[in-house]
Amino acid sequence: MATEPVEHELEGGSATRSADGVAELEAESVPAIDRPNGLRRLWSWLWPKLAALALFIAAWQVVVWSGWRPDYVLPGPVPVFQRLAEDLSRSDFYVGVAVTLRRALVGYAIAIVIGSVVGLLVARVPIVRKAVGHAILGLQSMPSIAWLPLAILLFQQTEGAVLLVVILGASPAVATGLLAGVDQVPPLLVRVGHVMGARGLRLYRYVILPAALPGYVGGLKQGWAFAWRSLMAAEIINIIANQPSIGQQLQFAHDFADAEQLLALMIVIFFIGVVVDLAFGFADRAIRRRRGLLD
Amino acid sequence: MSERAVAVERLIKAFPHGEKPLVALQDVTLELQQGEFVCVVGASGSGKSTLLNVLAGLETASGGRFDVRGRVALMFQEAALFPWLTASQNVELALELRGVQGGKERRRIAHDLLERVHLLGFERKRPHELSGGMKQRVALARALAQDADVLLMDEPFGAVDAITRDLLHEELIRLWRASSLTILFVTHNAREAVRLGDRVLVFTSRPGRVAQEFKIDLPRPRSLDSPELAVVAGRITERLKQEMRPDGH
């Protein structure tokens, strides 16, 4: 029961706040729905995921036991997780994670800027839409790793080549998301903005961009997925000296036939991707709930 | 004689539509004195909304002249509140766009306006947490926040239930009488028009034109259920039916 007050605090915006407000609320507004308490909700959210994970690990172990491939090619979960724990206790492991995350964040940030500017231009200027609207969609379906050979020619084996691939991978998704968001703004809201005296940039600032936010967040989320994917591909292929990135370590693990390390690194890559995706999922749901687009 | 607030003279609005343009408004002429409450009744598609859109500057006229004194606010059938803002913030945004400086001052005025439409205690609710009638109250407060001289209302209570509508009528009349607001109110409901208006203009369909004007001399406050009101509304409905018959007579 200790969690209950916390729950009410979280829901303060929508739930009834005080007893005297209740009667008034029930008269006309939508009644507040009873929600299960926080711990329960966390558990009902968590247990299917844990169950799936357990099933996956069990299947993995069964395959290993079946002797389909020798241990040094396909190690079981126990040695892999031991290796992972070992890696996580080494400080130089975090140097590699930091290199990769830095590249991801820098590349993603630049992609957001470029994608947002391009998306806005396409949304706002009809001739730009006619000219490059389809090209952006085409670019989005192009595997960004196809840019890497060119990127290496242009930037040699430097971080610039890696970042270029990340930016080209992520920015079309960001632009597309923003464009979709702007296109789906209800015309009635734009008219209301007009009547209230918002024109030009002010109309964008106060009406169109806030209204387009859900679509934009969707684009940011997809952009992140593309950025992370492109980064891993680029890091595996484009090895840079003295930069022990995750992708590079993955490639080295392969070169030294160190299957335990390889699988441990894959778990790290998966984990980072899932955590970021979860953060986007929470942001997305929070925005939709605030606007009544979600129960 | 008081001052003229709205003057419309031989206003024409045509939309491109295949070979022949679609004429929504044909030589519409009308006048509103300052502080007057005028209702326009007409069938759906009779160009009533187009008239308001032109007066509000959302669409350009194809011909004729119109003149609106002072600021204009427009209310739609849907409340069209911004779903990412609370009730209070929706009103505050109108104040900000009008040029009211200072967040504290805007919050104070928004509080007063929401009080005037009987929504105290709901300032921090988001639109999806409010009922249809409450949303229209916020929309009304938002329209008042624009400090308009002329309020254009496009079937604003068409989507709320009868009892809520009756309450909203009362409040609208109360707010109107306490101000110098000039109101042009569009509806397809003759009884609503008679309940609210000093005058009722009957609109023809395709193209829209003022067919007849009824002066409503019933004393206020008026009740929707009064027999006198029903008689006048009946005459207007009869006139509307004439307009809607294919032969026009």
Mean pLDDT of B32-38: 94
Residue A285 has pLDDT above 80, yes or no: yes
Instruction: State both tokens at A107.
Output: 């590349």
Res B181: pLDDT: 93
pLDDT tens sequence across A120-144: 999 999 999 999 988 998 888 888 8
Higher pLDDT pick, B220 / B74? B74
* Amino acid A155: pLDDT: 93
Greater pLDDT, B35 or A5: B35
- pLDDT value at position B83? 95
Tokens 């008679």 locate to B194
In the predicted model, is pLDDT for residue B3 greater than 90? no
Please check whether residue B129 touches A, CB under 8 A: yes
Contact B93 A210 (CB under 8 A): no
**B70 contacts in A (CB within 8 Å)?**
none
Q: Which of the pair, A110 or A33, is modelled with greater confidence?
A: A110
For residue A32, the model assigns a pLDDT of 53
Q: What are the contacts of A224-227 at 24+ separation with CB within 8 A?
A: A224/A108, A224/A170, A224/A276, A224/A277, A224/A280, A225/A173, A225/A273, A225/A277, A226/A140, A226/A144, A226/A169, A226/A170, A226/A172, A226/A173, A227/A104, A227/A107, A227/A108, A227/A111, A227/A166, A227/A169, A227/A170
Mutation choice for A interface testing from B74, B84, B184 by most A CBs within 10 A: B84
Question: Smallest CA–CA separation between A12 and chain B, in Å?
Answer: 10
In this prediction the pTM is 0.81
With contact defined as beta carbons under 8 Å apart, do B1 and B66 qualify?
Answer: no
Q: Across the strands, what pairs with A275?
A: none
Measure CA B12 to chain center. Answer: 20
Q: Which residue has the tokens 């992520």?
A: A170
Please list every residue in chain B whose beta carbon sits closer than 8 Å to the beta carbon of residue A196: 93-94, 97-98, 142, 146
pLDDT in tens, B98-110: 999 999 999 999 9
Q: Please state the length of chain B.
A: 249
Cβ within 8 Å, pair B121-A21: yes
Cβ–Cβ gap A292/B121 under 8 Å: no
Share of chain A above pLDDT 90, in %: 72
- Can you tell me the ipTM of this complex? 0.88
A292: nearest CA in chain B?
A: B128
Q: Does B60 touch chain A (CB under 8 A)?
A: no
- pLDDT band of residue A5 (cuts 50, 70, 90) is very low
Task: Provide the pLDDT for residue B1.
Answer: 52
3-class DSSP state of B13: strand
Distance (Å, whole) CA A172 – CA A180: 12
Alpha-carbon distance B151 to nearest alpha carbon in chain A (angstroms): 11
A-chain CB neighbours of B132 within 8 Å are: none
Put simply, the answer to whether B58 touches A195 (Cβ < 8 Å) is yes
Q: In angstroms, rounded to a whole number, what is the distance separating the alpha carbons of residues A112 and A147?
A: 19
B121 shares contact with chain A (CB less than 8 Å): yes
Contacts of B134 in chain A (CB under 8 A): 28-29
pLDDT in tens, A18-63: 434 333 444 444 555 556 678 898 999 899 999 999 999 999 999 9
Summarize pLDDT for A207-253 with one digit per residue, the tens: 999 999 999 999 999 999 999 999 999 999 988 888 889 999 999 99
Q: Residue A6: pLDDT above 60?
A: no
Establish if A50 touches chain B: CB-CB under 8 angstroms: no
Using a CB-CB cut-off of 8 Å, the residues of chain A touching B78 are 188
